[in-house]
Chains A and B, each alone.
Chain A
Amino acid sequence: MAVLWSKLSAVLPPNEEEFPLQFSDKVESSVVSVLQQSRRQLYSDATSTDRTLTAQIILDLSWEKLNTGTWRDVDKEWRRVYSYGCLFKVAALCREHPSADEILQGIRTCDMGLLMGAAIMDNVLQVLVQILQEETERPRVPVIKDEQAVPRIKCPSLESFKSDYLLPLRPVILEATADHWPAFNEHPWSVEYLRSVAGCRTVPVEVGSRYTDEEWSQTLLTVNEFIDQYVLNRVSDGAKAVGYLAQHQLFDQIPELKEDIRIPDYCCLGDGDEDDITVNQNFLVQVVGSKYIRLYSPEDTDKLYPHQSSLLHNTSQVEVENPDTERFPEFARAPYLECVLQPGDVLFIPVQHWHYIRSLELSFSVSFWWS
């Protein structure tokens, strides 16, 4: 059972028999039958579609009652019915691994019930909305546990980096290694700087939270459009999705930006073939903002449940920060290293290491692939 649902259902009656549904005669028996149907579906293995459908019928009907006559004349029973509709709808939305958007919808539904409905079941909607709200306020900056932290060292020699990290393929963060970049000094990178240097240039943008999403897609935008629609959320239509400027030789296309960065010295330890990303070492340099990163060793691939298809065979099916423990039981046993990468940090990601990255705020990073 998903973690969120276990918290929500703990607040609801344990079974159908103990779930109260009492109404005055004002509520016709046909309406009560639909409410009873929702209650039945709550405790049976109905589909999410069916549960949502039944809840919506209750909401649509009670909404009409709430809009009939003057507000103060609306019978309190109909407001209670509306609250029950909200309750059943939230339960349907947040039951099976809700997305962040579904959780927000659930919060909005609770609020509609609190605003327009009347208290039911010891004000259960108030309790539910708080659980949901906590879910969205999950630690913005994850707390890094020492025993799982990616080690940090300051400017190691080439030899010690090679022997301690490169050859054994161990991740490490090199601090103070990129400090001299113009991107941190003469031309500090920012949204405005990027606009001024490359605003009218067209770049590929990936749209969608995960590239395993059905709605993931790629599009071409100018840097200005990308910033307006996805970074600053200025345009209302595009704002909901996440946009990512990635996997792209930006610096070949826009050499002015290339002037602001420097290839890390350690790359000379490689022998030069940089074309195939997946069989190369990687330095990920954080320039603006911060990213939460988790790294898993290729030795633990069997616990990471990669997709079968050839297109996605190097992508895990697991939602790393909200894993489905029923479908992916071994994932919890996969060891990992984690870090919050700050501006100036250079992260060494050894070849074939699995990586999970979540931007904690607006973020620019530069990747160097080398071997």
Chain B
Amino acid sequence: MRWFGFGFNAFGQICVHNELSKDEGRDTVSDVKIMNPTELHRNVDKSVCGRNKCLKTSQIRASWSRRVWLHVDGDSCVCLAGFGGTSVVDSSGCTDTVLSETHLTLAFSDRIESWDLQKKEKTPAWSMEIQPPTDTSGPPLSLPLVPGGYIATKPPFYRSLSPHLKAKSLALGAEHAILLSATGAVYTWGLGSHGQLGHGGLTSEEEPRAVEALWGMPMKHVVTGGWHCACISDGADLYIWGWNESGQLGLPSQSLRKGHKEESSQQAAADCQSASINPGGKPLEGEKDKEVFISIQAFPALLDISPSCEIRTVSCGSRHTAAVTATGDLYTWGWGEYGQLGHKNLISTDEPQCVDFFKEQKLYVVDVVCGPWNTFTAVGEEEVKLS
């Protein structure tokens, strides 16, 4: 698989800066904000990774200042890039990773380890043993889920989860969490001040609470952004809720439009050229002039990215969202000031737009992973459509 990255690159986490500018301590805008999808070097540093076989990057995770990529190819290899330079982590046998701004968490068949990235220590800051799964009926749990609970982003690392939730996957935001159960039900908890829990209000929840609006519609994938959540149903529809101040929900955002008005007329002209796809969800009543703006969407809304298109996967950054369709297209929307939308500009948008780069290059997008201010996409061979 080939991976491309775009967006925030102040620490060289997408691609290393031009050596000259690095020495002078200067960041030019084009180094820091990568507007065009750029292919990630596969053999970034042969001496670092030391293996010729470092070709199959199977997983990428990104924090604000770093990127980690996991190669699983017989043995496995975890490489870090970004703040602190490029390095290889001692990690043979690693099957899964999670990256926060302060810690790198690795899963092995028999243990979980969390390494403190701010200290250069020889041992993990925290670790726990796990029993290899006795029943091989279901797929292995992916981080941050571990048997019996999950690994949080800050201490205490291990938090237990009630077994009746039947947790299948879990995504953690800074202050909220979303859980997908084996039955396809969705639970959320944490802070709710921006509607990110999807229960219809702004109150917080200490314990996992079912998102009732989705009851009866099994979901297959759940993700979180900074202040929003998204999930994909078994029927490949995309649901989204939370804060929309940068258009990250794909719904009309007043603060976004106001911000655009204050900028130069050149900018405004560019906006007018963007495709105006009507987001679905609650039908906007009245004429076009009387547009309804949404700053907080406290219940899940169905988002129609493009007509009759199935959504294969979705990922959220801090204030932007990226989705891959079953036909291999990538759509992005939300905050774009660091180039994280990949539309070759630095404009935020509240309307999902296709990233033309991949179409132009005839590349078939199969996966997307967002860091807080950047986006990574995997392209592959065109695959048989999932039924």
Bound-complex Cα distance A331 to B86 (A): 55
Contact A33 B83, beta carbon cutoff 8 Å: yes
What's the interface size class on B, roughly? 20 to 34
Among A32-52, those with CB < 8 Å from B are: 33-34, 37, 40-41, 44, 46-47, 49-50
Given known pairs A40-B25, A53-B27, the reply for A30 and B337 (CB within 8 Å) is no
Contact A69 B227, beta carbon cutoff 8 Å: no
Contact B102 A53, beta carbon cutoff 8 Å: no
- In the assembled complex, the CB of B277 is this many whole angstroms from the nearest CB of chain A, namely 26
- Taking a contact as CB atoms closer than 8 A, the residue among B29, B118, B191, B318 that contacts A28 in the complex is B118
Contact B318 A64, beta carbon cutoff 8 Å: yes
Contact B102 A37, beta carbon cutoff 8 Å: no
Residues of B near A69 (CB, < 8 A) are 174-175, 191
Bound-complex Cα distance A231 to B174 (A): 49
Residues of A near B76 (CB, < 8 A) are none
Which of A54-62, A147-155, A168-176 forms part of the interface with chain B? A54-62
Q: How many A-B residue pairs have CB under 8 A?
A: 50
Q: Which A-chain residue is minimally distant from B173 (CB atoms)?
A: A68
Contact B29 A30, beta carbon cutoff 8 Å: no
Contact B175 A28, beta carbon cutoff 8 Å: no
Q: Does B276 contact A (CB under 8 A)?
A: no
Among B18-45, those with CB < 8 Å from A are: 25-29, 32
Contact B11 A30, beta carbon cutoff 8 Å: yes
In this complex, the member of B26, B118, B175 whose beta carbon has the largest number of chain A beta carbons within 10 angstroms is: B26
Given known pairs A53-B27, A67-B227, the reply for A30 and B175 (CB within 8 Å) is no
Contact A46 B26, beta carbon cutoff 8 Å: yes
Contact B27 A61, beta carbon cutoff 8 Å: no
- In the assembled complex, the CB of B285 is this many whole angstroms from the nearest CB of chain A, namely 27
Given known pairs A57-B10, A69-B191, the reply for A49 and B174 (CB within 8 Å) is no
Residues of A near B319 (CB, < 8 A) are 64
Contact A49 B226, beta carbon cutoff 8 Å: no
Contact A37 B65, beta carbon cutoff 8 Å: no
Contact B64 A61, beta carbon cutoff 8 Å: yes
Q: Does A249 contact B (CB under 8 A)?
A: no
Residues of B near A37 (CB, < 8 A) are 25, 27
Total chain A interface residues with beta-carbon distance under 8 A: 24
Interface string of A53-91 (1 = CB under 8 A from B): 110010011001001111000000000000000000000
The A interface, classified by DSSP as helix, strand, loop or mixed, is helix
Bound-complex Cα distance A61 to B318 (A): 10
Residues of B near A44 (CB, < 8 A) are 25
Given known pairs A68-B174, A69-B175, A69-B191, the reply for A28 and B26 (CB within 8 Å) is no
Contact B28 A50, beta carbon cutoff 8 Å: yes
Residues of A near B237 (CB, < 8 A) are none
Residues of B near A46 (CB, < 8 A) are 26
Q: Which B-chain residue is minimally distant from A54 (CB atoms)?
A: B27
Q: Does B101 contact A (CB under 8 A)?
A: yes
Q: Does B142 contact A (CB under 8 A)?
A: no
Bound-complex Cα distance A28 to B29 (A): 23
Given known pairs A69-B175, A69-B191, the reply for A28 and B226 (CB within 8 Å) is no
Q: Which B-chain residue is minimally distant from A65 (CB atoms)?
A: B174
Bound-complex Cα distance A33 to B10 (A): 11
- In the assembled complex, the CB of A208 is this many whole angstroms from the nearest CB of chain B, namely 13
Bound-complex Cα distance A158 to B379 (A): 87
Residues of B near A24 (CB, < 8 A) are none
Q: Does B345 contact A (CB under 8 A)?
A: no
Residues of B near A40 (CB, < 8 A) are 25
Contact A34 B10, beta carbon cutoff 8 Å: yes
Q: Does B193 contact A (CB under 8 A)?
A: yes
- Taking a contact as CB atoms closer than 8 A, the residue among A28, A47, A54, A57 that contacts B102 in the complex is A28
Contact A49 B29, beta carbon cutoff 8 Å: yes
Residues of A near B102 (CB, < 8 A) are 28
Contact B25 A57, beta carbon cutoff 8 Å: no
Bound-complex Cα distance A33 to B64 (A): 13
Residues of B near A60 (CB, < 8 A) are 337, 373
- In the assembled complex, the CB of A74 is this many whole angstroms from the nearest CB of chain B, namely 11
Interface string of A332-368 (1 = CB under 8 A from B): 0000000000000000000000000000000000000
Contact B101 A57, beta carbon cutoff 8 Å: no
Contact A28 B27, beta carbon cutoff 8 Å: no
Residues of A near B64 (CB, < 8 A) are 30, 61
Bound-complex Cα distance A237 to B260 (A): 12
Residues of B near A61 (CB, < 8 A) are 64
Contact B32 A53, beta carbon cutoff 8 Å: yes
Residues of B near A68 (CB, < 8 A) are 174-175, 226
Q: Does A29 contact B (CB under 8 A)?
A: yes
Among A210-268, those with CB < 8 Å from B are: 237
- In the assembled complex, the CB of B328 is this many whole angstroms from the nearest CB of chain A, namely 32
Contact B27 A50, beta carbon cutoff 8 Å: yes
- In the assembled complex, the CB of A27 is this many whole angstroms from the nearest CB of chain B, namely 10
Contact B28 A30, beta carbon cutoff 8 Å: no
Bound-complex Cα distance A44 to B193 (A): 42
Residues of A near B226 (CB, < 8 A) are 64, 68
Q: Which B-chain residue is minimally distant from A67 (CB atoms)?
A: B227
Bound-complex Cα distance A64 to B193 (A): 14
Q: Which A-chain residue is minimally distant from B25 (CB atoms)?
A: A40
- In the assembled complex, the CB of B275 is this many whole angstroms from the nearest CB of chain A, namely 24
Residues of A near B373 (CB, < 8 A) are 60
- In the assembled complex, the CB of A256 is this many whole angstroms from the nearest CB of chain B, namely 35
Contact A30 B83, beta carbon cutoff 8 Å: yes
Contact B83 A50, beta carbon cutoff 8 Å: no
Q: Which A-chain residue is minimally distant from B338 (CB atoms)?
A: A60
Contact A29 B118, beta carbon cutoff 8 Å: yes
Q: Which A-chain residue is minimally distant from B29 (CB atoms)?
A: A53
Bound-complex Cα distance A110 to B104 (A): 37
Q: Which B-chain residue is minimally distant from A70 (CB atoms)?
A: B193
Q: Which 10 A-B pairs have the closest CB atoms?
A: A30-B65, A30-B83, A68-B174, A28-B101, A29-B118, A69-B175, A50-B26, A68-B175, A40-B25, A53-B29
Q: List 11 A-B contacts (CB under 8 A).
A: A30-B101, A33-B83, A34-B10, A41-B25, A46-B26, A47-B26, A49-B28, A53-B32, A57-B32, A64-B319, A64-B372
Starting from the known contacts A69-B175, A237-B261, 10 additional A-B residue pairs (CB-CB under 8 Å) come to A28-B101, A28-B118, A30-B66, A30-B83, A50-B28, A54-B27, A64-B226, A64-B318, A69-B174, A70-B193
